[in-house]
Amino acid sequence: MSSYKDNKVITIGVVSELTGLSERQIRYYEERKLIFPIRSNGKTRKYSFNDVERLVDIANKIEDGIGTFEILKTEKKEKSKEETRNRMLRGQINAAFKIRK
């Protein structure tokens, strides 16, 4: 389930190099609830490779004029859609099993 991609081990300086974003931008996206680094010892932020990719994505959207709130809202919708899809799928699977029994 968890892999290297999900392992939050990268400091903000390296994330900045990797993404080309400023530390200010990276911290701001966190403030807007778009990214969630862990804090080692309650202080220093640590990001995963997934976070790095996500940050680039976010930055691209902002460059396209999409606000942080808009990004957050859209993602919530996507997630909700996906959950509905999964729920329906599970329903069909269950129904199929009942028939076989």
Partner DNA sequence: CGTGTAAGGAATTCTGACACG
Using CB under 8 A, which of the segments 14-22, 67-75, 82-90, 91-99 binds a second copy?
14-22
Distance from the first to the final alpha carbon of the chain: 32
Pairing of strands 10-11, 44-47: antiparallel
Residue 12: which of DNA, a second copy, none does it interact with, CB under 5 to 8 A by kind?
A: DNA
Radius of gyration of the chain (CA): 18
What residues from 17 to 46 belong to the interface with a second copy (CB under 8 A)?
Answer: 17-18, 40, 46
What token pair was written down for 22? 């400023």
Applying CB under 8 A, which residues contact a second copy? 3-5, 7, 9-11, 13-14, 17-18, 40, 46, 49
